[in-house]
Structures are given as structure tokens and as C-alpha cells.
Amino acid sequence: MSSAMSLTAIGLVIAATIGIGLFGLRISRTTSDFYVASRAVSPRWNASAISGEYLSAASFLGVAGLVLVNGADMLWFSVGYTVGYLMLLVLIAAPLRRSGAYTLPDFAETRFESAVVRRLCSGLVAGIGSLYLLPQLRGAGLTFHAVTGAPPAVGAAIVAAIVVINVAAGGMRSITFVQAFQYWLKLTALAVPIFVILITWRSMDHPVGLLDSLQGAGSEWAEPLSHAGGRDHPLYATYSLLLALCFGTMGLPHVLVRFYTNPDGRAARRTTVVVLALLGLFYLFPPLYAVLGRSFAADLIGTSPDTVVLELPSRIFAGTTGDLLGALLAAGAFAAFLSTSSGLTVAIAGVIDQDLLRSRLHRLTGGDYLAVNSFRIAALLAIAVPYLAFNLTKALSLADTVGLAFAVAASTFCPLLVLGIWWRKMSVPGAAAGLVVGGVAAITAVLVNVIGPPSGGWPKALFGQPAAWTMPLAFLTVVVVSKLTPERIPRGTARSMVRLHTPEAVDVDRGLPSA
């Protein structure tokens, strides 16, 4: 891989990202611009931005690395990442938009009329967002190291600095433009090298079939539910992973905040349908890099499998062709880190701003000017803490770290949102207890994996993929505690449910079509 070409490509991505972000500064002035882009983003534009934000380091690099090492079982990552939006579409997309909230804590306080539930949600948004930011920073470090040989901390610092500039410049309105551009860049960066490889394969005098790339892989790698990669209890691990990915999506703060930017609930549903198509298209490509990597980059299996996407072109093509394709992939990888990190930073900054900074600063002064500037301070804090902590995830792969973030989200916000939107008898103590029990259980599993996972057997499986027991535990806690405290059901529950489930064309107050 040519360092000069790759650095040039990364530089162009950075310049385009900053340029588009500064354009957002010209049109971002109010609090609504910074938090929800004034709720005026069209479904197609929003779908591209959501896809750009959602397709993180785990999608661009990590999925291929996991499939390269562990085989067919890891294809469930691509399936789960996509199906999560189907669950979101069916269960919460439109009601969440109708809630009128800016952030997840706003929704929690409106629905449950409780400052305690709001504070718990705020802490979880910061925690889940920070956990999700760690693999983005690590992926940036890996990419920069692969291109230049520089320490990973340098690449992570570059991404952190650019994200702060973009988010502080224009908030949600600014990064909407950036992330939409970055989705199409990432898709192009992944697709073009694969098509070049296929065209080259077709033009060979004696073409070798793609399935021959599995040579030496062994039946364990190619067959699902095997023990490839040393995985214990693969059936449990697979279903637990699917639960985390399918139901954790609706608990990711940077995903949910996007649905507040749609004009109405109908637009939120249409956005989700388009997102499903865009994600499905993207995830066709990472497994192909893994399959080809079994033949052309097998040495990466025991060293750095997450870099197989970046390394593959130079292993197949010598000279300028390999360098150009490698540079394109490096640019796409940096776009992945920047887009996801930007969305996460907005989500975390919104919570820090509303629940920590502005509540204190407003004692001195007020107004939109203060709100915008406190948001900018919050954005700096939101990226600084994960940057200082990103070295803790070195023992975990990119996709594994993201999978744990999904498990925490599925065990906390999923019960809160699903039951809060669809069950009238959910009480305030039930909501708080579900967040605490699910959060403590899932975060304990994360800490065990970071500090030192069990060596094998059921303990390794249960802590490595905790969603299969932490998510049902959280749901059960909410139901049991709510049944025991019926007197603590919020007084405004009936009105909240009407607002969540009534189309915007109907006046909630009068029951008539609105003007």
C-alpha cells in the first residue's frame, strides 16, 4: 500500500468533511438546528445520513476481520445490524418521532414524569455512546498505522479533532450533510475494489473460482455453528448476538436522535425503509473481503485481521492498481470513523449540555446563544473522555467491542422504549429498576471482557455474549416492579400514549384533523 496515495486520499476526505461541516455553520444558528436540524430533513437525505452514521469501524473493517478468523457464524453481524432497523421500524420509529423530544432523556422524562429516570437515561447515553466511540478511535488508529506506521494514538487524535470541529461548527444540521456524503463514499470505497477484482478474475486465461479462496480454510470455517476461532457454545453465542444486534439498535443514542430530525412519524417510517435498503446493499461486500483474505492475506488471521480490507488490494495487485485501490479503501475507512464518531458525539453532547452544563450556566444568563456555546463545550467533553480511554479496548476486536455496546443498549433502552411506548401499566419504579438491573448486568459483562474474560466454557460464552440473559432480565424486572407499584404509574400516561400513537394529521387535543 502506497503511504503517499493513502495519505492523499485521507487528506481529501478530511478536507471534504471539514468543508461540508463549515457549510453547516452558515445555516446553523438555533438550538433546534444543533439538536435536530430543525426537524426538516427529508426521508431520503436522512436515510443516507443514518446509514453513513451507522456503518462504523465495525462494519467497514471489523465484520470482514471477524469472518476472516471465525467463518460463517460471523455473517450474523451483517444480518443483525440490518434487521435491527426492521425492529425499530415496526416498534418505535413513528411513536418516537411523535414524542417531540430532542434526546432519549427528554423522551424518558416526558413519558414517565420523573427526573430520576431522566438522569439514569442520561448516564446510559453517555456510557453507551462512549463505549461505541472506543472502536471508532481504535479503527482510526489501526488505519493510520497501516498507512504510515505512526502510533495508533495519532490516527485517533486526528479523528477526534475533526469530529469536534464539525460538531461544534453546526451540530446536527452540519453532520447530516457530512454523513450523507460519507455513506456513498464508504459504499464506493468497498464496492470498487471488489468489482475490479472480479473483472480481473473474469479476464484471466485460467480463472480461479471465488470459492477456491476457501482453500485450506477447513470445514469449521465454512460451516455455521462450528467451533471455528475457539468459540464455546456457538449456538448460544449466535442467538445472543442476534438478540443484541436486533434489539440493541433501538437503544443506540446516535441512531434514535436521527428520528427526531424527520418532519413527522410517517417520514420516520419511510426513512427506516430506505435505510434497510442502503444497509443491505453495503453489507454485501465485507464478507467478500474475508473470503478472498483466506487465500491472499492468511497471515493476518493471527496478527491483525481487522486490517484485511485495507491490505487485500496490495496483496492481489502489484504496483499502481493496488496502491490506488488501497488508498480508496483508506479514505472509506476514515469516512466510517468520522461519520459514526460525529453522530455519537452529537448524542452524548446533547445529554451533557442539557443535563450538566446548561442547567448551571442558565443561572447566569440564557438564550439560544448560550445554548449553542454550551453545546460546543459539551462536544469537546464528549470526545475527550473516550479518546483518553480507547487503549482499554486493545484486547477486543472492533466488531466485538461494538457488539458489547449493542448488548448494553438492548438491556437498557430497548425495554424502556418498547414497554414505555406500548404498555400503559409501566410504572416509574419499573422503568428505573429495568434501567438499573439491565445496565448493571450488561456493563458488568463489558468490564469482564475488558479486564480479562474467562478462559472458556459457559462463563466465557455468557459474558462474551450477554444479551440472551441480560435483556430478558431487564424486561422481567420492568414488568414485575411495575406490577408491584401500580400506584406509581405516571398521571399523564393516557395523554402520553395518545400523543405517541396518534398520527400528526389528527389534533390530539380535539380529536380532529389538524389544519
Q: Could you tell me the mean pLDDT of each successive run of 10 residues in the chain, 515 residues long?
A: 81 84 59 52 80 85 86 84 86 81 83 92 89 85 84 87 76 72 92 88 58 52 57 83 90 75 74 89 91 83 86 87 91 86 83 72 48 75 84 63 87 95 96 96 88 80 92 97 96 91 63 45
Residue 396 gets which letter from DSSP? Answer: S
pLDDT of residue 27: 53
CA 32 – CA 101 distance, rounded (Å): 11
pLDDT of residue 14: 85
pLDDT of residue 479: 97
pLDDT of residue 224: 62
Tell me how long the chain is.
515
Quick check: 132 and 341 in contact, CB under 8 A?
A: no
CA 89 – CA 463 distance, rounded (Å): 29
State the residue for C-alpha cell 480461479: 208
| Rg, the chain, Cα only | 23
* Residue closest to 221 by CA, chosen among 283, 284, 286, 291: 291
Number of H helices and E strands in the chain, helices first, is 24, 2
pLDDT of residue 512: 44
- Whether the predicted model's global pTM rises above the 0.85 cut: no
CA 455 – CA 441 distance, rounded (Å): 20
* Residue closest to 311 by CA, chosen among 210, 323, 319: 323
506: helix, coil or strand?
A: strand
pLDDT of residue 32: 52
CA 325 – CA 18 distance, rounded (Å): 24
Maximum separation of any 2 CA atoms in the chain, in Å: 78
Give φ, ψ of 507 to 5 degrees: -70, 115
Q: Which string of DSSP letters, residue by residue, matches 103-124?
A: SHHHHHHHHH--HHHHHHHHHH
Quick check: 136 and 56 in contact, CB under 8 A?
A: yes
For the domain spanning 3-501, the CATH number is 1.20.1730.10
β-pair type (506-507, 512-513): antiparallel
The upper half-sphere exposure of residue 188, i.e. CA atoms within 13 Å in the direction of its Cβ, equals 10
